[in-house]
């Protein structure tokens, strides 16, 4: 039997519609500043979508494009100015940044109250101790996808493949907070399949094609694919061997059309929250 698809495009559209309804009730539209440094082609596409998403739900967006030669000091000065601007509720700096800029220092310069990416150490700390705060958009979107199919992580074994600060670690924390038993695997994990075969929920977030194959999945498991890679024909694909894993899994997210659109939708939810309103 083939797994059921978790349609990220459809769920994201529903969330955007809810955000748009909420924005209409506000005295002033929430404002999101999006900073792009350099000309990475994928980043250009993502920020274009983010700006369009804002407009689609009635939010204000402020896109700042800077050349790859922008100095770190100048970028920090721009963030300080946006921190002080009351019309800007959320600030995001598109990653990756050029090598000469320390991304962590940049993130730490964003006012925690405007950290709609949820990458600031204050947001990460709040997540760690279970306090309210901005949740990073990708793992937040993955949790919404689980909720949408009625998958309550409580008591389930979840395996997260990947330990990045923006996906793997916060994903593990969110699943733990939802009372899953969580295993985090990574590049130094021997025999990855030993762990994933025990999982009711697998989240693959390493950025490497075919990290998860059908023999590594428990029948009926929920498989969430965060990967964003290109195959040998240049086609977008995830970390999961989709065609084969879908024969074993119970639920699976596609790439494209899965986690990506949800990442963008949760950015809108965080921006709404930064403007003082929740869904
Ligand atoms: N400041 C940030 N930088 C980055 C983040 C982030 O959350 N904040 N995450 C990723 C990139 N990313 C968001 O910025 C992102 C990637 C992909 C998608 C998406 O919608 N993907 C589509 C396919 C798009 C395509 O055709 O290329 C899909 O999966 O259907 C949204 C957001 C790194 N940087």
At 17 the pLDDT is 98
Looking at the structure of the chain, the number of domains it has is: 2
72 with 142, same domain: the answer is no
- Our answer to whether residue 177 is catalytic in this structure is no
252 with 155, same domain: the answer is yes
Q: End-to-end CA distance of the chain, in Å?
A: 36
22 part of a folded domain:
no
- Our answer to whether residue 44 is catalytic in this structure is no
Distance set, CA 102 to CA 65, 95, 98, 99, 245 (Å)? 18, 11, 9, 7, 38
48 part of a folded domain:
yes
For the CA of 95, the nearest atom of ligand 1: 3
140 with 215, same domain: the answer is yes
Binding residue positions for NADP(+): 162-164
Each residue's pLDDT expressed in tens, for the chain with a length of 279 residues: 799 999 999 999 999 999 999 999 999 999 999 999 999 999 999 999 999 999 999 999 999 999 999 999 999 999 999 999 999 999 999 999 999 999 999 999 999 999 999 999 999 999 999 999 999 999 999 999 999 999 999 999 999 999 999 999 999 999 999 999 999 999 999 999 999 999 999 999 999 999 999 999 999 999 999 999 999 999 999 999 999 999 999 999 999 999 999 999 999 999 999 999 998
For the CA of 117, the nearest atom of ligand 1: 8
Contact 94 CB / ligand 1 (< 6 Å): yes
For residue 87, the enclosing domain spans 27-113
At 11 the pLDDT is 98
| Confidence (pTM) | 0.98
Q: How far apart are CA 18 and CA 226, in angstroms?
A: 24
Where is the domain boundary, 47, 80, 113? 113
At 92 the pLDDT is 98
Catalytic residue among 22, 50, 114, 169: 50
| Residue appearing with tokens 């929250």 | 273
At 1 the pLDDT is 73
235 part of a folded domain:
yes
CATH for 53:
3.40.50.10860
167 part of a folded domain:
yes
Phi, psi of 92 (to 5 degrees): -135, 140
CA of 1 to the centre of ligand 1 (A): 31
Q: How far apart are CA 3 and CA 116, in angstroms?
A: 33
At 260 the pLDDT is 98
| Sheet with 201-204, edge to edge strand ranges | 4-5, 251-252, 222-225, 201-204, 157-161, 181-185
In this structure, what token pair is assigned to residue 265? 């939708």
Q: How far apart are CA 42 and CA 177, in angstroms?
A: 32
């Amino acid at each position: 039997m083939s797994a059921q698809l978790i349609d990220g495009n459809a769920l994201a559209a529903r969330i955007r519609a809810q955000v748009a309804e909420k924005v209409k009730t506000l005295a002033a539209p929430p404002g999101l500043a999006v900073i792009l440094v350099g000309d990475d082609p994928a980043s250009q596409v993502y920020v274009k979508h983010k700006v369009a998403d804002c407009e689609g739900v009635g939010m204000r967006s402020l896109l700042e494009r800077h050349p790859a030669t922008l100095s770190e000091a100048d970028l920090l000065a721009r963030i300080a100015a946006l921190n002080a601007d009351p019309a800007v509720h959320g600030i995001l700096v598109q990653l990756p940044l050029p090598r000469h800029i320390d991304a962590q220092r940049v993130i730490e310069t964003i006012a925690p109250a405007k950290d709609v990416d949820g990458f600031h150490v204050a947001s990460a700390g709040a997540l760690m101790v279970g306090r309210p705060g901005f949740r990073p958009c990708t793992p937040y979107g993955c949790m919404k996808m689980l909720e949408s199919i009625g998958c309550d992580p409580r008591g389930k074994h979840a395996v997260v493949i990947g330990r990045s600060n923006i996906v793997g670690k916060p994903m593990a924390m969110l699943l733990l907070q939802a009372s899953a038993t969580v295993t985090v695997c990574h590049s130094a994990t021997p025999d990855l399949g030993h762990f994933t075969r025990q999982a009711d929920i697998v989240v693959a977030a390493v950025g490497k094609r075919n990290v998860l194959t059908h023999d590594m999945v428990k029948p009926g498991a929920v498989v969430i694919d965060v990967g964003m890679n290109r195959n040998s024909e240049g086609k977008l694909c995830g970390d999961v061997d989709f065609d084969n894993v879908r024969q074993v899994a119970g639920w699976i997210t596609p790439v494209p059309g899965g986690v990506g659109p949800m990442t963008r939708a949760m950015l809108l939810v965080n921006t709404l929250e930064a403007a003082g309103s929740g869904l």
